[in-house]
Structure 1
Amino acid sequence: MSKVRAERGRWITVEGARTHNLRDVSVRVPKHRLTVFTGVSGSGKSSLAFDTIAAEAERLVTGTYPTFVRNRLPQHPPADVDRIDGLIFTTIVDQRRFTGNARSTVGTASDIASLLRLLFSRVGEPGAGFSPAYSFNDPSGMCPRCEGLGVVDDIDLDRLLDRSRSLRDGAVRFPTFAPGTYRWKRLVHSGLVDPDVPLRRLPAARVETLLHAEGLPLDNPGPDYPKHGVFDGIVPRLRDSYLRKTPSRLTAEEQEGLAGVVTRGVCPACAGTRLSEAARDSLIDGRSIADWSAMPVGDLRDVVAAVRAPSVAPLRQAIRERLDALVSVGLGYLSLSRESRTLSGGEAQRVKIVRHLSSALSDVCYVFDEPSTGLHPHDVHRLVELLAELRDAHNTILVVEHHPAVISAADHVIDLGPAGGADGGRVQFEGSPRELTATDTETGRVLRAPLRLKKRTRTAQGTVTISGARSHNLRDITVDVPLGVLTVVSGVAGSGKSTLIAGELPRRHPGFVVVDQAPLHGGIRSTPATVLGVAEPIRDAFGKATGKHPSWFSANGRGACPVCKGKGVIITDLAFLDDVQTGCDACGGTRFSQDALAARLEDRTIADVLAMNPAEAAALFGERSPIARRLRWLDRVGLGYLTIGQSLDTLSGGERQRLLLARHLADAVPADDLRLILDEPTAGLHGSDVDRLLTLCDELVDDGATLVLIEHDQRVIAHADHVIDIGPGAGSEGGTVVFEGTPSALAKDAASLTGRYLRKH
């Protein structure tokens, strides 16, 4: 028994794991160590680290809570594994963006805001009160005009009303007031005005009542008016239903209607700071808490260090440590007042890291999803130091990662493969990074491969110019972007790369198309098949083969499972918490009704086809069919391991971007007219997959396309025809052109951080 206890104290043991594509995987993960899971894209790394180890730990912890609490937490089925032992409390730190809560900022998400409030409540002059008096999320500290949001929404009456029309004819330009609707009937039958007279001919006072009355008892309402006889005007109705408490789910028609009648501007009372006058007037060394929150984190460190009051020395030290941590993960350019929903997935994950670093918990298992995403090599080594610091606080760190520097820093490495999807899911190696480098695995070969600078670069076929760019932190930049070549734009995170290339370039030269990692529309109902435009031809093929209408083979049409409505899961809305999803037992997650699943094409159901990878589906429909031609692009962009019916919600930001790239290429005009901007296309890619992407880029450019890649990956930079390096630092320290030229010349440039790392490797 003592041996079993000793084993559980040292290892997390997994035997016979079969989650997703895992093939009876058995591993031992050392506790209180930094373990990195590597392997090509789709090899099963996340299936092992997240969907087996982390999910089972979360399920077991959830099972200790009372039923009332348990029903309101994420539900996981038991892991598909023969045995799993030695699990500990586990926290997942993934790249999901922060929710759309407008009240969440970098300061609140990192827990630094609470420390600032406490500091100002103690030494701010004049004092505004206790720490809630400095919070824009507390009634005592928020600006009363904007209620702590920093912006105010106003209804533009000129857009809302068509004064040439009567109420009966639809004078109110908003969907819920359209003729025949419930609210339209209230206006028409209120008895306040003649509903058949155009608004411009009605008395101004009466129109004012229609617009702004609140709780007005009606003298003579029509017989169809509700019996309570109390009237609320158009503006209060819109304000209360859509502005004060925006519904979580708006119809497309309502969204369009709001966009047409609502204007948003900075709150005039607090100038966008969100805070009450008392909080804004309370100062430390001439600055308010709003001034502190608006500074770049890198500058705020020095301001905090200058506070000398002995009574707040421990507070000052705690704030400095967290600010230093943000800087060390490459986020020194952010301000604490920046809304957290505007952060990228990589930025959001690094903010979460900082929050966990300050935790008093120990013996926790932290599972990270590619934390190096979006980081310049200059910042990766500092990220590694933070992960080591978290490990040394007596925690277990599991990291799914491709970056060589993170792999090299690991205590233990588990490499999966040999390929992605059905050809992956096997352990290729377990051991130290040094031992992995010597193996013949895909990861070992990539780690050994030297970085080769491109010697023979293509000649540009002309240029386009961005002149005098001053957006965000750009400092009046003028730069020429060459055409007909592969250009890489580099620089530290926050230097201004995306602002210049993804923002200014397509705005000034509309022929350029940006392919970024933003969420694709459609969410849980969208799949690679729908994004690529092959879902409808597949449904048509089933219709012709079975005699049924094609909508029977749509999870959004007649063929939808009647229980989950074609989602494959049952979603429970928990209001302020994340929605809880549980698999649909009626359809087994296929999303289709039994009638739809009874129909077959070459002995395959529609669910069978959507569970195929691109190559399998292409073979089913014929290699020369339009379906196959579009599906082949998934293989070419490195997504051949996906199933074509996989929900977009399950894809990473990098996978979504490459899916969008595949769609653009499938739809593309001749390559010599193709001008694409790719924002960090290697995010989530193994080194071997990066090489594959570069091969595709070469083929496109050789056919006449112009590609501009915003990238940190040194393999990509070294492969470019032309490099534009932005910097030298982030935020206020960036925004200038540091270098323009070939990779070889960049490696010799002493002023460029990017060049320094090219030389080093």
Structure 2
Amino acid sequence: MAERSSKKMIIVRGAREHNLKDLSLEIPRDKLVVFTGISGSGKSSLAFGTLYAEAQRRYLESVSPYARRLFNQMSVPEVDSIEGLPPAVALQQQRGGTSTRSSVGSVTTLSNLLRMLYSRAGDYPDNQSIIYAEGFSPNTPQGACTVCHGLGSVFEINEQTMVPDPRLSIREGAIASWPKAWQGQNQRDILVSMGYNVDVPWEELSKHDREWILFTEETPTVPVYPGFTPKETAKAIRDKKTPDYMGTFIGAKAYILKTFSSSQSELMKNRVRQYMISTTCPLCEGKRLNKASLSVKFEGKDIAELSRLPLSALARIFDHYTGLSAKNEKQIVTQRISADISSRLSVMLELGLGYLTLERSTPTLSPGELQRLRLA
């Protein structure tokens, strides 16, 4: 009777995950079941923290330790027993992250399998040492391009972007990349204290002065006298008059880079981004990986080139390797990983996603495409 019941029901005994208090229940299988309740009643603790976590744990026991470490593993749930639990998937309700580093390959974990394939069964150049799977990821120090740091593009900041109208003076806002509020005024007042002419058109300043103001990495600290004219400021400095404060100068380019990399405000980041020209990385040519990683081939292609193929084309490649007889270790690895990739791709093709590529950034996907990917 118990065996027949477990085929129709998921039987949970003694669930104590988070705020569950020794909960026991039976959940119908092959039915649409909804958990409802007030906030904090334990819905997520039961559905995700207990049922899904245990289903994932059982699945991961069947895969190799090497493959297991590529998954984000949930902790073992606090529960006495669960019977009749089938394999499970968990779909997030949110739209998904906006990181440009997130891709179709990372969401489906197919990129992990592809990295394992290149690491274990790729065609290496002569005398090149074996690269671990992490070395084929642009999101790791081992794999990222040394110039663009895994972004695939570099940012150029030049005088034309920072000073769009050279007919204006610094006081009139010639350096558009500086903020309009106090911080921009502070930089102008610092330049006055340093003896720069902020009242002549930018184009009339010497090339040396223009380049120093825009591109210097020096950060001199000088006395500042807000509201003083240049003559009054010069006299105050000569007379060693006590300043309102000591101000530290930062070059216009350095200000952009600092704001873009460390500001917590998306508004500020977006503002300075308009002064940065994005161009394809000259070293990796947009492939995001270092030269060593890109030198390893499979089917005559590096991993970035293979990731740019439509999923339908990838399926044809790996279906071919799945059917070949394997004799040596490299062929066995190729066949096994290809079989895994092929089975995953077949589901994605059934879901109508064959036109996507593994490198496709997830922020560019529709909500429907993203949910179908998670199902796969």
Calculate the TM-score normalised by the size of structure 1.
0.35
Alignment of 1:245-264 (within 5 A): 247=264, 249-250=266-267, 255=270, 257-258=271-272, 260-264=274-278
Inter-CA distance 188–109: structure 2 relative to 1 (3 Å threshold): same
Give the secondary-structure state (helix, strand or coil) at the position aligned to 2:31.
Answer: strand
Letter in 2 for 1:181: W
Q: Which of 292, 310, 327 does residue 331 from structure 2 map onto?
A: 310
Inter-CA distance 201–324: structure 2 relative to 1 (3 Å threshold): same
Is residue 205 of structure 1 aligned with residue 208 of structure 2?
A: yes
Alignment of 1:375-394 (within 5 A): none
Give the secondary-structure state (helix, strand or coil) at the position aligned to 1:177.
Answer: coil
Inter-CA distance 49–267: structure 2 relative to 1 (3 Å threshold): farther
Inter-CA distance 342–217: structure 2 relative to 1 (3 Å threshold): same
Alpha-carbon separation, structure 2, partners of 1:336 and 1:343:
12
2:117 aligned residue: 119
Letter in 2 for 1:138: T
Deviation at 1:167, TM superposition (A): 2.0
Deviation at 1:198, TM superposition (A): 2.5
1:154 aligned residue: 156
Q: Which of 16, 27, 34 does residue 30 from structure 2 map onto?
A: 34
Question: Is the CA contact 1:152–1:267 (under 8 Å) kept in the aligned structure 2?
Answer: yes
2:9 aligned residue: 10
Letter in 2 for 1:193: Y
2:44 aligned residue: 58
Question: Is the CA contact 2:348–2:373 (under 8 Å) kept in the aligned structure 1?
Answer: yes
Inter-CA distance 156–12: structure 2 relative to 1 (3 Å threshold): farther
Deviation at 1:165, TM superposition (A): 2.1
Is residue 102 of structure 1 aligned with residue 100 of structure 2?
A: yes
Inter-CA distance 63–310: structure 2 relative to 1 (3 Å threshold): closer
Inter-CA distance 350–61: structure 2 relative to 1 (3 Å threshold): closer
Q: Which of 170, 174, 196 does residue 171 from structure 1 map onto?
A: 174
Inter-CA distance 306–12: structure 2 relative to 1 (3 Å threshold): closer
1:235 aligned residue: 253
Inter-CA distance 316–53: structure 2 relative to 1 (3 Å threshold): farther
Calculate the TM-score normalised by the size of structure 2.
0.66
Alpha-carbon separation, structure 2, partners of 1:291 and 1:141:
15
Question: Is the CA contact 1:298–1:333 (under 8 Å) kept in the aligned structure 2?
Answer: yes
Give the secondary-structure state (helix, strand or coil) at the position aligned to 2:293.
Answer: helix
Question: Is the CA contact 1:96–1:349 (under 8 Å) kept in the aligned structure 2?
Answer: no
Question: Is the CA contact 1:214–1:231 (under 8 Å) kept in the aligned structure 2?
Answer: no
Alignment of 1:338-377 (within 5 A): 338-354=360-376
1:182 aligned residue: 183
1:679 aligned residue: none
Deviation at 1:226, TM superposition (A): 6.4
Letter in 1 for 2:357: S
Alignment of 1:712-727 (within 5 A): none
Alpha-carbon separation, structure 1, partners of 2:190 and 2:160:
24
Question: Is the CA contact 1:57–1:90 (under 8 Å) kept in the aligned structure 2?
Answer: no
Give the secondary-structure state (helix, strand or coil) at the position aligned to 1:320.
Answer: helix
1:273 aligned residue: 287
Of structures 1 and 2, the one scoring higher in RCO (CA 8 A, sep 6+) is: 2
Question: Is the CA contact 1:296–1:335 (under 8 Å) kept in the aligned structure 2?
Answer: yes
Alignment of 1:669-748 (within 5 A): none
Alpha-carbon separation, structure 1, partners of 2:204 and 2:45:
66
- The one-character-per-residue Cα deviations of 1:283-324 (angstroms, maximum 9, x if unpaired) are 123111011100011111222345563241322222222222
Alpha-carbon separation, structure 1, partners of 2:121 and 2:184:
53
Letter in 1 for 2:286: G
Letter in 1 for 2:266: R
Inter-CA distance 183–61: structure 2 relative to 1 (3 Å threshold): farther
Deviation at 1:12, TM superposition (A): 8.3
1:508 aligned residue: none
Aligned length: 297
Alpha-carbon separation, structure 1, partners of 2:285 and 2:155:
14
Inter-CA distance 57–170: structure 2 relative to 1 (3 Å threshold): same
Question: Percent identity, aligned pairs only?
Answer: 27
2:145 aligned residue: 143
Deviation at 1:186, TM superposition (A): 2.6
Alpha-carbon separation, structure 1, partners of 2:41 and 2:88:
9
Deviation at 1:136, TM superposition (A): 0.5
1:285 aligned residue: 299
Give the secondary-structure state (helix, strand or coil) at the position aligned to 2:148.
Answer: coil
Q: Alpha carbon RMSD of aligned pairs, Å?
A: 3.9
Inter-CA distance 50–340: structure 2 relative to 1 (3 Å threshold): farther
- The one-character-per-residue Cα deviations of 1:224-258 (angstroms, maximum 9, x if unpaired) are 6964x75431112112212x35746326xx74x44
2:134 aligned residue: 132
Letter in 2 for 1:232: I
- The one-character-per-residue Cα deviations of 1:697-727 (angstroms, maximum 9, x if unpaired) are xxxxxxxxxxxxxxxxxxxxxxxxxxxxxxx
Alignment of 1:413-424 (within 5 A): none
Question: Is the CA contact 1:150–1:273 (under 8 Å) kept in the aligned structure 2?
Answer: yes
Give the secondary-structure state (helix, strand or coil) at the position aligned to 1:153.
Answer: strand
Alpha-carbon separation, structure 2, partners of 1:61 and 1:328:
27
Inter-CA distance 325–56: structure 2 relative to 1 (3 Å threshold): same
Inter-CA distance 52–177: structure 2 relative to 1 (3 Å threshold): closer
Inter-CA distance 96–292: structure 2 relative to 1 (3 Å threshold): same
Alpha-carbon separation, structure 2, partners of 1:50 and 1:287:
51
Alpha-carbon separation, structure 1, partners of 2:39 and 2:349:
31
Question: Is the CA contact 2:37–2:43 (under 8 Å) kept in the aligned structure 1?
Answer: no
Letter in 1 for 2:100: A
1:319 aligned residue: 341
Question: Is the CA contact 2:190–2:249 (under 8 Å) kept in the aligned structure 1?
Answer: no
- What stretches of structure 2 of length at least 5 have no aligned partner? 13-24, 51-82, 226-242
Alpha-carbon separation, structure 2, partners of 1:63 and 1:300:
35
Give the secondary-structure state (helix, strand or coil) at the position aligned to 1:316.
Answer: helix
- What stretches of structure 1 of length at least 5 have no aligned partner? 14-27, 38-47, 65-85, 355-761
Give the secondary-structure state (helix, strand or coil) at the position aligned to 1:337.
Answer: coil
Question: Is the CA contact 1:95–1:346 (under 8 Å) kept in the aligned structure 2?
Answer: no
Alpha-carbon separation, structure 2, partners of 1:248 and 1:339:
23
- The one-character-per-residue Cα deviations of 1:250-284 (angstroms, maximum 9, x if unpaired) are 26xx74x4464333333333222211122222112
1:520 aligned residue: none
- The one-character-per-residue Cα deviations of 1:355-392 (angstroms, maximum 9, x if unpaired) are xxxxxxxxxxxxxxxxxxxxxxxxxxxxxxxxxxxxxx
